[in-house]
Amino acid sequence: MNGPAPKPWIMQIAPYVPGRSTTEDGRKVAKLSSNENPLGTSPRAREAFASAATSLERYPDAGAADLREALAAKHGLDPARIIYGNGSDEVLHLAAGAFAGPGDEVIYVNYGFAVYPIATRRTGATPVIAPDKDYATDVDAILAAVTDRTTMVFVANPNNPTGTYAPRSEIERLHAGLRDDILLVLDHAYAEYIDGADDDGAMALAERASNVLVTRTFSKMYGLAAERIGWGYGAAPLIEAMHRIRLPFSITIAGQSAAIAALGDTDFVANAAAHNAKWRTWFSDEIAKLGNAGLRAIPSQANFVLVVFEGDLTAETAYKGLMDAGYIVRWLPGQGLPHGLRITIGTEDETRGVIAALRTLAGAE
């Protein structure tokens, strides 16, 4: 007896591997493997979360009306065109579920976000990988990969795991080069970390174009990864299609309340952004000093830096050495990056500690 047969496209999925928080021998170490906020969560969000404990017997608002109103007010959007989900991961799955199926092709970049292949294959569609340009998004390569069968393109900007950023001119060129029956998903999980007034224009595109969905999350800058709140914005027909397959109660009361409170705490966000910008620059400069040992920091606009190892010290050895020194980072052989470590910008102590350990491993002292 063989039992029920899973769909063949499901068996082609390599399960998602989350960032680790303990070593093989169970030691607790600094977790710099999941791009979480080292400054924690807004105290206002924690308070709102705690208050939700008084209504555990109630279903959450399936329409997330208060959350949509708060997001619309903050970003100047139409609340009716906001979709939400259990993390932006769910929103990415909703997009693929509504706009890709067997026979269709879905494009994303080499070294793209690990959820795209899962969301794509789950629908029976075929993933198509566009080559990168020194780890960065290559708009020409994406446009060259488009065929009659293409129905979707995923681009994270900044990208994870590379941290690279495509400027507005490139995002506009990408959109202009796509047929309007191809859905362009612009994943803005790290939008809050982009330097200064730089804006890739994604939200403006989602506002006016019929085929652009922007996704955002409370998991990174807002420090609410535990509560799984993500959202997306696009043309009404896109949102309406995604609502048809959304789980009715995928975001909790506590999560909705905490997210609304977090949106209102602009000091927390400003502080976390300043912390990240300062230590990301310091970290990248320190890695540059290890250039003789073959270490290179890929320019990042996110809350992590991809370090590639092109000399005698391998990423695998550095990964193990950092673990011994008390830091878990992300080694990514499963994503075609056996020579790279993605390192989250942590607290000052953690950031200095990782650099000190890398200097030792590289033989710099």
Ligand X SMILES: *Cc1c(COP(=O)(O)O)cnc(C)c1O
- H or E element that contains 156: strand 150-156
| Residue the block writes with tokens 């390599």 | 14
Taking the least distance from each CB to ligand X, the nearer of 251 and 295 is 251
Taking the least distance from each CB to ligand X, the nearer of 37 and 257 is 37
d(CA 151, CA 37): 34
In the complex, the smallest distance separating the C-beta of residue 116 from ligand X, rounded to whole angstroms, is 9
**What does the DSSP 8-state code read for residue 364?**
-
d(CA 79, CA 93): 21
Helix (H, G, I), strand (E, B) or coil at 244: coil
Taking the least distance from each CB to ligand X, the nearer of 186 and 355 is 186
Residues in the chain: 365
In the complex, the smallest distance separating the C-beta of residue 137 from ligand X, rounded to whole angstroms, is 12
Cβ-closest position to ligand X: 87
Helix (H, G, I), strand (E, B) or coil at 183: strand
* 198-226 core/surface letters (b: 16 or more CB in 10 A; e: else): eebbbbebbbebebbbbbbbbbbbbbbbe
In the complex, the smallest distance separating the C-beta of residue 309 from ligand X, rounded to whole angstroms, is 22
Taking the least distance from each CB to ligand X, the nearer of 70 and 290 is 70
Contact 299, 158 (CB under 8 A): no
In the complex, the smallest distance separating the C-beta of residue 138 from ligand X, rounded to whole angstroms, is 17
In the complex, the smallest distance separating the C-beta of residue 16 from ligand X, rounded to whole angstroms, is 11
HSE-up (13 A, CA, CB side) for residue 228: 10
Taking the least distance from each CB to ligand X, the nearer of 198 and 285 is 198
Binding site for ligand X (CB under 6 A): 35, 87-89, 113, 156, 160, 187, 189, 217, 219-220, 225, 230
Taking the least distance from each CB to ligand X, the nearer of 188 and 296 is 188
Q: What does the block give as tokens for 122?
A: 């789950």
Taking the least distance from each CB to ligand X, the nearer of 113 and 279 is 113
d(CA 66, CA 46): 18
Helix (H, G, I), strand (E, B) or coil at 63: coil
In the complex, the smallest distance separating the C-beta of residue 130 from ligand X, rounded to whole angstroms, is 16
